[in-house]
Structure 1
Amino acid sequence: MSPYTSNVMPAESAAATSGARVYAWVVFALMFCLLLSDYMSRQALNALFPILKVQWQLTDTKLGSISGVVPLAVGVLTLPFSIVADRWGRVKSIALMAALWSVATLGCAIASSYNEMFIARIFVGVGEAAYGSVGLAMLMSIFPKRLRSTIAGGFTSAAAFGSVLGVSLSGVVATHFGWRWSMGLMAIFGFVLVIIYFFVVSEKRLARAHAANASGTPVAERLKLTPRAFFSGLFPSRSVFCAYLGSASQIFIQGTLFVWLPSYLNRYWDMPVSKAAVVAAGLVLVSGMGQLLCGVITDRISRDSSLKRWNMAIGYCLVLGILLAVAFRLPPGNLQLALLAPAVFFLASSFGTCSAIIAGATPPAIHGSAFATLTLFNNILGLAAGPFFTGVVADAVGLQGALRLLPLAAVLPLTVYLIGRWCHIAEARRG
């Protein structure tokens, strides 16, 4: 019987073995590295914008499009691919995903025009589409419930670290060996991990680890839901919809800054490409640390109160908007950087607050699909839309002018969080 269809939940202390625990952590480390590769392949191109702009004579709109098309593909495909992976098998699906995004990244390295690069980037997005949700679901199935927050937080933090490594290494490698080697290096890293994954991860080994830890929701439970019940479970209330939308609206700002900071530093701070990439990578790292710490702070303050989580989301978003508004009104210099650092600390605060709100309001049996839905919202309305629309505005008023308008984007998530809080209070009174 598949480990995903078993409803047997033996006691952790009685069934867990030392070997199963070690293997579970080995799988975690490998999945963490694959998510690093995912985001390195996705973000490495951002450091190359100044080079490609000159070499291929690209507008900022086109530069934004070859970056934004990856999260767009991820957003469109994450939910259907997650459902397919549950049916076909998570182990095989993850191997295929990683191989595809690595091949596509190699395609970026050999692209000779904007059109070829755009097509290659589409396939990078196709490969990466469901890895986050499927990978997390796999990890949840082999670790005990008491470690779920630790596993989820640790696994998803690889996105920030991967972004940092991708941008910084890409800029340095491009300076010394050319931009094609930057993308080639990311592809090689992915291929190596796929080979290791092939020899380390198997359904039988995961089944033994699952039996030892006996956590996770059986997949069969999710797949037996009717389409109507499935949709109702994903969107049980207006407040949950506000959590999806509010998170995506805030991620719009994050996606914009991650993509355009290297170019901003290069154009207006007169930094060389390599230095701009390193400074931008440092700010992304601050964002990743903020993602983790904001989640910890929210849990400590909110505990079991969803209302307090809404309050935290509102507070984080308000601080983010104010800090960004002040920072981008200052001339380039150390003072501006001193304000940008605390601002980006709150960029990804929505992950901890909105994910917890959604998990608390949706049935545990479909949490994987709920997080895939959150990924869809975040990628289409956030990570894909932010860089593209900022590029369009930058072509009209300049990149500096576009980033000075960016703090206005914080008004939307702030408004949505306020509405979500009001809906939550009304729903609690009716319940």
Structure 2
Amino acid sequence: MHHLSADTQQANNNDYLVSKSRAWFAFAMTFALMLFDYIDRQVIVSLFPHLKAEWNLSDKQLGALVSIISVVVALGGIPVALLADRVSRVKSVVVMGVVWSLATISCMFTRNYSQLFMARAMVGVGESGYGSVGAALIASLFPARLRSMLLGAFFAAGSIGAVLGVVLGGVITARWGWQAAFGVVGVPGLLLALLYMFVPDYKTAALDTRPAHEQGQAKGLLAHMVSALTSSRTLWWTCLGAALQLVVVSTIWAWLPSYFNRLHGTPVDQAAMQSALIVLCGAVGCFVWGIVADVAGTKQPRNKLKTVSFLCMVTAPILVVAFSAAESMNQQFLLIALGGFLMTCTVGPASSVVLDVVHPGLRSTGAALLSLFQNLFGLAIGPFVGGALSDAFGLQAALTAMPVFGLLAALCLLRASRTYERDLQEVAQIQSAIAEQPAGAAASMTA
């Protein structure tokens, strides 16, 4: 692991911070670990029918096994990212990967719902901050012109991991039982976490660009951190919009295997395969819409957010029609696939926007703030509320109602577009001030 000092970064981040080969190695390792993050997180959804039958669980209890991870990630994300920003992103990732992999393996030894719930919570403890720290690392090592595309690809690993988790869960359970599924997916993540020590790190930028003798102590540092995170309206509206859209995504991901199993009588392993195809459409969408957003924002950056807002607005009615008015199973599957392709449109662009408008010395923390919103008000809401609606009105009614959250997401992102360009200018001024500092001053508050 090697640290690159913040004063070697270009003011506009138009160049690679390290050699291309080392930057792409860092991306590959970060992508791979994100893949197993979501394999470990989503493997359980294809096990729902078995857990429901074995322990007589309600849909709300099943949904909680998914939502608890998002709640813990949301609560732990900012403290972990703050520590990573001031100490080491790479070491933080290594520790997180080891913890969540061991917690996943421990799920195979649980013997009741309470034990499994606690083990899943520990998976969330390990995953706290990983997405935000990984995104900050990628954003800092690569040129700004590639940011939305690379972050879209990075977070697409989450969709691909969810696909593999659902598929592997169904296949392994059919052959060796649901306990074995956790053991099989947990070990590779553990090995990757240890290999991550070879990824290059960087020293973060100073939070206070004043001369060292004018800077305050801990209280002043905290004040600068709070000010940097609260000054951007773009950041807050983007976080809220991204979270609301993920309510839709998490609902579809969590309950689609059960929907195919219950409503169409599809065997569990086949339902997992069909659901995996939908999630795979979302993985492609993460990458494609990241590119589209970059292109749309080339001349007018605010068009990046306007484009994503439009896509959210289109997604909602497609999914509502899919679950309420499709005339055949084939037609329904195609509509759900189209909705699945569209519904991940916010993943890459939202991360890019947040990293664009947050202080360069707080990128991990800014990304963790986005992660808090996405997990607590997005990923945690979908499976649990969807399960509660399913208990009350049936699973089909729940899946018909939940996509409406996408319309609220569209309004939030449209509001964020109004202040995006102004906030970009403010960050550019901060980066220029950092670049003009003497090397010693710039390094005085780095990790």
In the TM superposition, structure 1's runs of 4+ consecutive aligned residues that sit over 4 Å from their partners are: 9-17, 140-150, 222-225, 421-428
State yes or no: 1:288 paired with 2:274. no
Indicate conservation of the 8 Å contact 2:152/2:289, yes or no.
no
AA aligned to 1:218 is T
Structure 1 residue 351: deviation in Å? Answer: 2.1
What residue number does 2:163 align with? 164
Aligned residue number for residue 373 of structure 1: 369
Deviations 1:325-359 (A, max 9, x none): 11111356011111111111111111234334334
Cα distance between partner residues in 1 of 2:146 and 2:6:
20
Listed one character per residue, the Cα deviations across residues 62-94 of structure 1 (whole Å, up to 9, x for unaligned) are 000011000111111111101112334223222
Q: CA deviation at 1:173?
A: 0.8
Supply the distance in 1 between the matched residues of 2:59 and 2:373 (Cα, whole angstroms): 24
1:346 and 2:342 correspond = yes
- Partner of residue 298 from structure 1, selected from 293, 310, 331: 293
Q: Is the 8 A contact 1:32 1:155 kept in 2?
A: yes
2:381 to 382, 385, 395: 385
Aligned match of 1:272 = 267
Q: Which residue of 1 aligns with 2:223?
A: 228
Match of residue 109 from structure 2: 110
Letter in 1 for 2:290: G
Paired residues of 1:46 and 1:262 also in contact (CA < 8 A): yes
Alignment: residue pair count? 412
Does structure 1 residue 54 correspond to structure 2 residue 56? Answer: no
The amino acid across from 1:38 in the alignment is D
Cα root mean square deviation, aligned: 2.9
Task: Measure the CA separation in 2 of the matches of 1:249 and 1:67.
Answer: 17
Shift of 1:424: 6.5
> Is 1:191 aligned to residue 187 of structure 2?
no
In structure 1, the residue matched to 2:204 is: 218
How much does 1:236 deviate?
A: 2.3
Residue equivalent to 1:74: 73
Q: Distance in 2 between matches of 1:15 and 1:241?
A: 29
Secondary structure of the residue that 1:58 maps to in structure 2?
coil
Is the Cα contact below 8 Å between 2:257 and 2:275 reproduced in 1?
yes
Residues 230 and 165 of structure 1: CA distance in aligned 2, closer, same or farther (over 3 Å):
same
> 1:354 and 1:80, CA in 2 relative to 1: closer, same or farther beyond 3 A?
same
Structure 2: stretches of 5+ with no match in the other structure: 209-216, 425-447
| Aligned-pair CA distance for 1:6 | 4.6
**Could you tell me how far 1:101 is from its partner in structure 2?**
0.5
Aligned to 1:355: 351
Q: CA deviation at 1:179?
A: 0.8
TM-score (norm 1): 0.87
Deviation, 1:27, is 3.3
Deviations 1:351-380 (A, max 9, x none): 234334334433333232211111110000
Corresponding residue SS for 1:218: coil
AA partner of residue 339 (structure 2): A
Q: Which residue number corresponds to residue 252 of structure 2?
A: 257
**Equivalent in 315, 334, 346 of residue 310 of structure 2:** 315
Q: Could you tell me which residue of structure 1 aligns to residue 24 of structure 2?
A: 25
Closer, same or farther in 2 for the Cα pair 1:125/1:304, shift >3 Å? farther
**Counterpart AA for 2:57:** L
> Where do 5+ consecutive residues of structure 1 fail to align?
211-216
Q: CA 1:148 to 1:246, structure 2 compared with 1: closer, same or farther past 3 Å?
A: closer
1:176: which partner in 2? 175
> Displacement, 1:244?
1.2
Equivalent residues of 1:98, 1:194 under 8 A apart:
yes
